[in-house]
Copies of this chain bind each other. A is one copy, B any other.
Amino acid sequence: MAGSRDAGVLPAGELAAFGSALEVLRRTFAYPHRGRPATGFGLYASVLDIGEGRGLAISTDGVGTKLLVAQELGRYDTVGIDCVAMNANDIACVGAEPIAMVDYVALEDATTDQLRQLAVGLAEGARRAHISIPGGETAQVPEMLHASTAGDAFDLVGTCVGLVDLDRIVTGSRVAPGDALVGFASTGIHSNGLTLARRVLHDRAGLAYDQHVEDFGRTLGEELLEPTAIYVDLAMRLLAEADVRALFHITGDGLLNLRRAEAPIGFDLEFMPAPGAVFELIQRVGELDAAEMYRVFNMGVGFCAVVPESDVARALDSGRGLGIPGWRLGHAAASPDRRVRVLPLGIESAGERFAALG
């Protein structure tokens, strides 16, 4: 329920309920005879001490409301990639190599082609992340699910595990002021902010999911379903080539994810790439300000690494070798409240949101 989620960026009401639940679950850290947690709550993945200096990383995540777009289009063969991406990227953020994922599929009717299509996406995601999907669970629970078109409701969740030596866990504790923040390109909206995107483009602008959108060069549905990038190869190469001090999967809460390093540091971003057509259209049609956009969306940057300034070129080379554009976005700065300032946009983090620069 916790741990791999950054409780620091939840709305206040949710935060209270969540914090109370966390306190209860923290007690469980002492229960195992072996395999006790080697990390606390708050990282992208939890690491268990499985002995002999070895760590097992574990993380779980769902695809969320992106599944509703898949339902609208009746197209289910890509969201499995998102499921792998959301989980394997999180495992990579603690410096671990993902090895396997199990999936949970809840659906209304297991006799349709939906299940096979989901498997096709999952297998493609597994190929990209170099993991197996050795097991999982399919639950036919029509009473528990809701969809706009009856019979098509489903949920898709993954749990990924990976291996990391205990002395190589990346927690962000070694980040020092002056370290460079390098960002890598997203492939669009990924799996976060879909609720707002649908509200703006579909409900408000009245675009149909199968409607061609000039700005995208394809339909709205195709743009929104573009699979989340899998950064596993990138992360493994970065770990091999550079002195990686923190890794950030930019998911829900956008660049506020940069507050998840364990060290008491913030970041000053002096550069941001053009976010891309989908974000520009959402912002224009939704009349949303930068603070809101950068809180909800990845805005073109799906993964970040913190390295010493001297390793920036090596980090960018790692991305380039994999065809992933990257940029030096800024640098770490001493900041007990972990302030993230996006200078080109004139915004900075203020608790659980962004606000105009003070």
Interface residues of A (CB under 8 A from B): 1-5, 13-14, 16-18, 20-22, 24-25, 27-37, 39, 41, 45-46, 48, 50, 52, 54, 56, 58-62, 64-65, 67-68, 97, 99-100, 102-106, 110-116, 118-120, 122-123, 126-127, 129-141, 143-147, 153, 155, 157, 159, 161-163, 195
Can you identify 5 A-B contacts, CB atoms within 8 angstroms?
A24-B116, A25-B136, A48-B161, A102-B159, A143-B146
Please, which residue of chain B has its CB at the minimum distance from the CB of A49? B99
Q: Is the CB of A119 within 8 A of B21?
A: yes
Q: Which residues of B contact A103 (CB under 8 A)?
A: 1, 60
* Copies of this chain assembled into the complex: 2
Q: Is the CB of B137 within 8 A of A102?
A: no
User: Once the chains are docked, how many angstroms separate the CA of A166 from the CA of B71?
Assistant: 41
How near does chain B come to A171, taking the closest CB pair, in angstroms? Answer: 14
Q: Is the CB of B135 within 8 A of A46?
A: yes
Q: Which residues of B contact A159 (CB under 8 A)?
A: 58, 60, 102, 104, 159
How near does chain B come to A152, taking the closest CB pair, in angstroms? Answer: 11
Given the known inter-chain contacts A36-B132, A132-B32, please indicate yes or no for A123 contacting B25, CB distance below 8 A: yes
Please, which residue of chain B has its CB at the minimum distance from the CB of A159? B159
Most buried by B among A25, A34, A110, A139: A25
